[in-house]
Structure 1
Amino acid sequence: MTAAVGVLIHRARGFDPVIATTIALLIVIAIASPSQGVASVGFLLKAMLFVSPFLLLSMAAAGAAQASALDQRISDIVTGRTTIVILGAAFFGSLVPLCSCGVIPLIAALLAAGVPLGPVMAFWISSPLMSIEKFILTTAMFDTGFALAYLITAMILGVVAGFATQALVVRGAFRDVLKEGVVGCCAANAFKADRPLLWKFWREPDRAAIFRETSMASGLFLVKWLSLAFVIESLMVAFLPPQVVTQMLGSGDWWAVPASTAVGIPAYLNGFAAISMVSRLVEMGAAPGAALAFLTAGAVTSIPAAMGVFALVRNSVFFTYIGFGVAGSLVAGYAYQALFV
């Protein structure tokens, strides 16, 4: 008996926490309300069927970026004339499939290599906000107009943050960026496997294997997070009245945008899950500007990402990064409401 329990505990430790949470949530729902359990499973299956073409496209984009070595061209983008570099870093950061946590080792490597903070900040801000995968899914969950607004927000916020940071650096700010002891193996190895850019990657067996492995890993990542988001969405549909959402986050309330920004900081778990859940809130009456503010604030200032940033850089850089995220989300939300709603 003891041995069996030990085996179960050992297997549980190796089980993905997101998948485990989704399964546990479905079990709890089924026990509390069998009819809602059936409804939640049905909602999950229908939603996954709807996004499956976009999932496949996102998987292919992520795999191609890795296999072609497009992701390793970041070091080329962030070296050169400051003005051009900041623009390039913000643009490239908006396309590369890196999350707010995954970008941290890369940022450590760039800073350790002596890349100026301005271009690094431009990339650092824009990268977690948008990627090719997120653009595809945002188009599916919202529409092309909102997806373009989100993409433009990522680029503009990256550019503004980059030039503002560079202006502060010129005036003598941020002389010491990294905290002591952070330039370790992760920073040193971020560019270890430098490979030339090759668009026709499928002609090389090694790169074709990278494409397959990365695509499958990206697919698993997306499926598990979207599954959790869809289960939560099913509960929102069942128990969250649309009129409540409209009253709290409707377009007529001036505080809808700052409220969404404030909620986005602690409540944002994952970019792909957030896109799905926020799209449901918009369908239920939330203002699109508030949705954009939530997505922007959450991606930059979410607690997991903020913890990684705090461990990497000194306090002055950390609070500047957070400030750009919060201020940018407010401006983006109000601008979208004023221009498109």
Structure 2
Amino acid sequence: MFDTVLDVLGKTAQDVGHTLAANWPFLLISVIVASAIPVYIGAERLSSWLRRKTLWAVIGAVVLATLTPFCSCGTTAVVLGALASSVPWAPVVTFMVASPLTSPEELVYSIGLFGPDFAVTFFVAAIILGFFAGAITWLIEKTGWLDGQARLTSTEAEKKAEESCCTSGDAEDDISGGGGVSAPIGSGGGGGLARTALLNRPIAPAPAPAPVETGLVKRWKLDEFGNELMITSKRLALYFLGFATLGFLIINSIPTRYLTEYLGGGNWYSVPLAALIGIPVYLNSDGSLPLIASLMKGGMGPGPAIAFLMTGAGTSVGAISGMLLIARWRVVALVVGILFTGAVVLGYTAPMWL
């Protein structure tokens, strides 16, 4: 028994080492792209692209969703900015469907793990599904079924968008001492003292103008890019090594015949089963991509694999949390239904050319 455990662990470590050696160039490119886009583009500029007519907003939403590496928190910030400007549901749902599925660095990452055919198929499918989501939502929205589904008013959305992710929502105390409402000057109970204090308070000198930063580091935001690069590198390395190890550990511990029997693609239920499993099991692309790549090497079919990735990416814990913050159950159900339908259709058709 002990020898068997050691054999499994040794084989797992060897498989992880081979995978890392084969994919490190793609990992490096992924880290650079994922770090550069948030620093040099930003969420405010991206969210303004959604403030257009419905058709152009849907096209812009697909472009943004495809070209941006935002996590679910970043996606929530962009969508909240769109809701604050009363954008129709069609581009919003389009972005919510397509954004978690793919991005430039994920395309490069997937090419290294699955090969170009699988990666390009998933990338193109995410774009097509985004346009499909926009069209379906536009038709449904005309019926009035999505009226009142926004959880936030425009003012609330603007406030939430400003406070999302990393900003602080602390407000400065007013002159009343933190009570929230200051007493009117000149009223009873010390109003005269308040007036005297305000009139006689020392006037602070005007701050000296800040020196103009002309250095290369500030001009090109190299410090921000360096910080983003370090954070992304640590996260990607942790997820890649952790989930690749988990995947190969599963492969080496469980007989391959179980994967071949239930998720190998030969049974009609393997694709919808994988799509259903992806909803609760998927964590994030950094971890789930190497996990599925490991499972495919052990017998998981390409159809179930692509179905798992499509439903999982759009319905992960972070994605569902972001959707529930933005919209009510009808919109959330619409997004999940579109993703599940697209995953099943792609899962059945993709093996024809993969």
Q: Which amino acid aligns with 1:54?
A: F
Q: 1:129 aligns with which of 87, 97, 101?
A: 101
> 1:145 aligns to what?
117
Q: 1:187 aligns with which of 161, 172, 176?
A: 161
> 1:162 aligns to what?
134
Provide the C-alpha distance between the structure 2 equivalents of 1:123 and 1:308, rounded to a whole number of angstroms: 12
Provide the C-alpha distance between the structure 1 equivalents of 2:11 and 2:120, rounded to a whole number of angstroms: 33
- Alignment check: 8 A CA contact 1:100 1:300 kept: no
- Alignment check: 8 A CA contact 2:8 2:253 kept: no
> 1:208 aligns to what?
222
1:69, distance to aligned residue in structure 2 (A): 1.3
- Alignment check: 8 A CA contact 1:100 1:299 kept: no
> 1:340 aligns to what?
353
> 1:254 aligns to what?
268
1:305, distance to aligned residue in structure 2 (A): 2.3
Residue 326, structure 1, aligned to residue 340, structure 2? yes
SS in 2 for 1:251: coil
What does 1:1-341 correspond to in 2, within 5 Å?
33-69=5-41, 72-180=44-152, 183=157, 185-189=159-163, 204-205=218-219, 207-337=221-351, 339-341=352-354
Q: Which amino acid aligns with 1:323?
A: G
- Alignment check: 8 A CA contact 2:43 2:77 kept: no
TM-score (norm 1): 0.80
Unmatched 5+ stretches in structure 1: 1-29, 194-201
Distance change >3 Å, CA 52–CA 191, structure 1 → 2:
closer
Distance change >3 Å, CA 35–CA 69, structure 1 → 2:
same
Provide the C-alpha distance between the structure 2 equivalents of 1:63 and 1:119, rounded to a whole number of angstroms: 26
1:206, distance to aligned residue in structure 2 (A): 5.2
Q: Which amino acid aligns with 1:86?
A: V
Provide the C-alpha distance between the structure 2 equivalents of 1:309 and 1:31, rounded to a whole number of angstroms: 48
- Alignment check: 8 A CA contact 1:108 1:183 kept: yes
SS in 2 for 1:210: helix
1:101, distance to aligned residue in structure 2 (A): 4.5
- Alignment check: 8 A CA contact 1:71 1:96 kept: no
Q: Which amino acid aligns with 1:61?
A: V
Say which structure is richer in helix: 1
Provide the C-alpha distance between the structure 2 equivalents of 1:191 and 1:101, rounded to a whole number of angstroms: 6
Distance change >3 Å, CA 307–CA 32, structure 1 → 2:
farther
Q: Which amino acid aligns with 2:131?
A: V
- Greater CA drift, 79-88 or 251-260: 79-88
1:39, distance to aligned residue in structure 2 (A): 4.1
TM-score (norm 2): 0.78
Q: Which amino acid aligns with 2:137?
A: T
- Alignment check: 8 A CA contact 1:260 1:290 kept: yes
Q: Which amino acid aligns with 2:325?
A: A
SS in 2 for 1:252: coil
Unmatched 5+ stretches in structure 2: 168-215
- Alignment check: 8 A CA contact 2:277 2:308 kept: yes
- Greater CA drift, 237-246 or 145-154: 237-246
SS in 1 for 2:100: helix
1:72, distance to aligned residue in structure 2 (A): 4.3
- Greater CA drift, 36-45 or 184-193: 184-193
